[in-house]
């Protein structure tokens, strides 16, 4: 007849089997601290057999750095009359392996309250401790990145503040820059620009220094420096890390750009003031030239717009042919702006062939690649054939991964070969190479 419940008490062997098979370490220790019982887990934790552990002092297996602290804790628990408690410490195996253990112990007393034995169950938490250590390390690295980014963000606010000047920027910069460094509490900054020194209160130069020159158009205009007031552990560059080298490089670049921008604005303002003064002095006798001056200002404004557009030019290289040279990193926004102008130029020039050269583009992302394909397709619908030149291997892989049929798009390895192909398709014949001459169809 089937049995649906346990009707007989479980024997001692059943419980002993559970104790011996568990991976947790189970110990019974007498009041003198000697081991009375230990299960098979001792072989893994202590590196000794069960028999070898019997009558050994339980504290002899504790890591030397934790032994005194653990014994003092035991004395405190006994003095307070605790029945049970939990704690962590490290055990040292006979093989030299250090094992982190989480203990749950119970104090067994007789009828008079005297300690008889201490029962303990310990779990190996070494892997957990290692994960905690890795997490702390990653958290520390993240905190450093946050400090660096915060420093750069605050510096950006300073240099972009409307109406600010160089002395104001540099004075504020030397006060906020130390906050981006690992040991910010003992760091100070100095900026020297155009022979003028900017330092914060308490500045103290020392042998522990990291610096970066301030450069504008390959001309040195100054230097930014960070000092530690005390010797700190060595890293990649003295006490400074590679990330801190990157940080001071970024700071130097930002300060250099700010100086160049403000200097340019100042020169433009001085020029403008001079023009206005001259106009004011001669208004009475040169009134008829006002329209000419206004036209010049309009021309200057238009030239400024054209200069902005030079970063993404669309050039009509020949009748019926436009060339689009792309240089640098193409993000989605810049690519979209370029391609919009490209299509406008195709329509305006009625070009039958457009040559898109991406030799100067190191790589593109998937979204940018989609924009390029869309532009080529749009040009095709407008009756313009597009030739793409200078495709790198990495860009080719990105285009292929789009899963779009590209067999209808003509590509050439270089701009020269692309120009040859374009002129042939326009009906021109090149004689003796591009530099020798070209015959125009009659």
- The phi and psi torsions of 50 (rounded to 5 degrees) equal -60, -45
pLDDT of res. 189:
93
Average the pLDDT over each of 144-158, 300-314, 404-418 and give the range with the smallest value.
Answer: 300-314
The pLDDT-based confidence of 301 (bands split at 50, 70, 90) is low
The pLDDT-based confidence of 10 (bands split at 50, 70, 90) is low
Residue 23 scores a pLDDT above 60: yes
pLDDT of res. 227:
94
pLDDT of res. 374:
85
The runs of H, that is alpha helices, within 8-125 are 12-21, 41-45, 50-53, 64-80
pLDDT of res. 1:
40
Residue 7 scores a pLDDT above 60: no
pLDDT of res. 304:
47
* Dihedral of alpha carbons 59, 62, 68, 74, sign: negative
pLDDT digit string (tens) for 62-74? 999 999 999 999 9
Provide the phi-psi class of 195: left if phi over 0, else alpha when psi is between -120 and 50, else beta: left
Closest CA to 191 of 227, 223, 158, 229: 223
pLDDT of res. 159:
87
Element (H, E) at 336: helix 332-349
pLDDT of res. 190:
94
Residue 303 scores a pLDDT above 70: no
Q: Answer yes or no: are the C-beta atoms of 199 and 178 closer than 8 Å.
A: no
Alpha carbons within 13 A on the beta-carbon side of 200: 18
Average pLDDT over residues 367-382: 84
Q: Answer yes or no: are the C-beta atoms of 213 and 191 closer than 8 Å.
A: no
Q: Tokens 């490209």 map to which residue?
A: 342
The b-or-e profile of 14-24 (16+ CB within 10 A means b, else e) is eeeeeeeeeeb
Six-digit token string for 94: 């006979």
SS (H, E, C) 169-213: HHHHHHHHHHHHCCCHHHEEEEEEECCEEEECCCCCCCCEEEEEE
- Residue 407: Cβ-neighbour burial (10 angstroms; 0-12, 13-18, 19+): exposed
Contacts of 197 (CB under 8 A, 6+ apart): 190, 191
Report the alpha-carbon distance of residue 322 to residue 384 in Å, rounded: 10
pLDDT of res. 309:
57
Cα separation values, 4 from 1, 7, 302, Å: 10, 9, 94
Max mean pLDDT among 43-57, 292-306, 361-375 falls in 43-57
Average the pLDDT over each of 58-72, 103-117, 414-428 and give the range with the smallest value.
Answer: 414-428
pLDDT digit string (tens) for 177-209? 998 888 888 999 999 998 899 998 778 889 999
Closest CA to 25 of 115, 79, 80, 101: 101
Report the alpha-carbon distance of residue 333 to residue 342 in Å, rounded: 14
Task: Report the residue count for the chain.
Answer: 442
The pLDDT-based confidence of 432 (bands split at 50, 70, 90) is low
pLDDT over 90 for what percent of the chain?
32
pLDDT over 70 for what percent of the chain?
91
In the sheet that holds 196-199, the strands lie side by side as 196-199, 187-193, 219-228, 208-216
pLDDT of res. 434:
52
Six-digit token string for 143: 């905190």
Residue 317 scores a pLDDT above 60: yes
- Is the pTM here over 0.85, yes or no? no
Residue 98 scores a pLDDT above 60: yes
pLDDT digit string (tens) for 115-163? 999 999 999 999 998 888 888 878 777 777 788 888 888 888 888 888 8
Who has greater pLDDT, 278 or 210? 210
The pLDDT-based confidence of 9 (bands split at 50, 70, 90) is low
Where would I find the beta strands (DSSP E) of 328-442? Answer: 353-360, 385-389, 410-412, 429-430, 438-439
Report the alpha-carbon distance of residue 101 to residue 125 in Å, rounded: 5
């Amino acid at each position: 007849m089937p049995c649906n419940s346990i009707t007989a008490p479980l024997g001692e062997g059943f419980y002993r089997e559970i104790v011996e098979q568990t991976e947790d370490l189970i110990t019974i220790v007498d009041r003198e601290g000697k081991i009375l019982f230990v299960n098979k887990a001792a072989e893994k934790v202590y590196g000794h057999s069960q028999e070898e552990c019997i009558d050994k002092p339980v504290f002899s297996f504790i890591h030397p750095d934790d032994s005194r602290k653990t014994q003092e804790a035991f004395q405190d628990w006994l003095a307070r009359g605790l029945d049970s408690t939990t704690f962590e410490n490290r055990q040292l195996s006979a093989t030299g392996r250090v094992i982190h253990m989480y203990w749950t112990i119970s104090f067994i007393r007789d009828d008079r309250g005297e300690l008889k034995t201490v029962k303990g169950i310990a779990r190996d938490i070494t892997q957990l401790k290692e994960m905690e250590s890795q997490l702390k390390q990653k958290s520390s690295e993240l905190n450093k990145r946050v400090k660096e980014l915060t420093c750069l963000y605050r510096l950006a606010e300073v240099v972009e503040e409307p109406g600010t000047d160089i002395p104001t920027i540099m004075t504020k910069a030397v006060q906020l820059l130390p906050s981006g460094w690992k040991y910010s509490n003992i760091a100070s900054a100095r900026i020297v620009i155009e022979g003028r020194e900017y330092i914060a209160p308490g500045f103290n130069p020392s042998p522990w220094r990291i610096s970066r020159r301030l450069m504008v158009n390959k001309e040195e205009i100054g230097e930014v420096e960070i000092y530690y007031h005390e010797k700190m552990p060595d890293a990649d560059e003295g006490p400074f890390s590679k990330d801190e080298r990157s940080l001071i490089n970024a700071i130097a670049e930002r300060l250099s750009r700010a100086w160049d921008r403000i200097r340019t604005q100042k020169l433009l303002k001085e020029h403008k003031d001079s023009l206005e003064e001259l106009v004011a002095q001669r208004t009475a006798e040169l009134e008829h030239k006002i329209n000419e001056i206004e036209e010049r200002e309009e021309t200057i404004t238009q030239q400024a717009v054209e200069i902005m557009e030079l970063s993404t030019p669309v050039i009509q290289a020949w009748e019926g042919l436009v060339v689009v040279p792309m240089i640098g990193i193409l993000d989605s926004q810049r690519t979209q702006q370029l391609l919009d102008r490209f299509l406008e130029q195709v329509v305006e020039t009625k070009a039958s062939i457009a040559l898109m050269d991406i030799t100067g583009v190191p790589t593109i992302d998937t979204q940018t690649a989609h924009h390029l394909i869309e532009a080529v397709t749009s040009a095709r619908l407008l009756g313009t054939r597009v030739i793409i030149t200078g495709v790198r291997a990495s860009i080719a892989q990105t285009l292929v991964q789009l899963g779009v049929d590209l067999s209808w798009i003509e590509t050439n390895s270089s701009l020269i070969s692309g120009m040859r192909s374009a002129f042939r398709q326009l009906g021109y014949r090149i004689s003796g190479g591009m530099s020798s001459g070209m015959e125009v169809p009659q």
